[in-house]
């Protein structure tokens, strides 16, 4: 039972990372700044370093959610720029 709770907690943390990334895309997409998939990748790397404890696994989950929220920019290798205007949808990964 404890394992199921751990998995559910990590799914919630991944969703929080995704939600923060999507809202960052909407409200911060007009800024000339690094794309937020880079921050997700940083969280994943930090989590891999500290994978033996709860915070490391949580960093991986958060990073994956945050990374997926900006997957289109990663696939087009956009590193530092303003997002192109587009119709905003919360669940859309484009």
User: pLDDT by residue (tens digit) across 41-93?
Assistant: 899 999 999 988 989 999 999 999 988 888 777 777 777 766 666 665 655 65
* Tokens of residue 36, six digits: 């937020």
Residue 33 lies in a domain: yes
**What distance in Å separates the CA atoms of residue 55 and residue 78, rounded to the nearest whole number?**
29
Q: Among candidates 88, 80, 85, 77, which has minimal Cα distance to 32?
A: 80
* Alpha helix positions (H), the chain: 2-28, 37-49, 54-69, 71-75
Per the structure, the complete domain to which residue 23 belongs is given by: 2-80
Residue 76 lies in a domain: yes
Q: What is the pLDDT of residue 85?
A: 64
Residue 89 lies in a domain: no
Tokens 């945050």 map to which residue?
A: 66
If one counts the domains in the chain, the total is: 1
Q: Report whether 40 contacts 69 (CB < 8 A).
A: yes
Q: What is the pTM of this model?
A: 0.79
**What distance in Å separates the CA atoms of residue 31 and residue 36, rounded to the nearest whole number?**
11
Q: What is the pLDDT of residue 88?
A: 58
Q: Among candidates 86, 61, 59, which has minimal Cα distance to 72?
A: 86
Higher pLDDT, 94 or 32: 32
């Amino acid at each position: 039972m404890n394992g199921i709770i751990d998995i559910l907690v990590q799914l919630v943390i991944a969703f929080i990372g995704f939600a923060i990334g999507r809202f960052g895309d909407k409200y911060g997409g007009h800024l000339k700044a690094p794309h937020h998939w880079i921050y997700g990748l940083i969280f994943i790397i930090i989590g891999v370093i500290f994978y033996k404890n709860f915070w490391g696994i949580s960093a991986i989950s958060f990073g994956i959610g945050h990374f997926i929220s900006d997957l289109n920019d990663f696939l087009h290798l956009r590193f530092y720029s303003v997002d192109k205007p587009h119709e905003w949808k919360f669940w859309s990964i484009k």
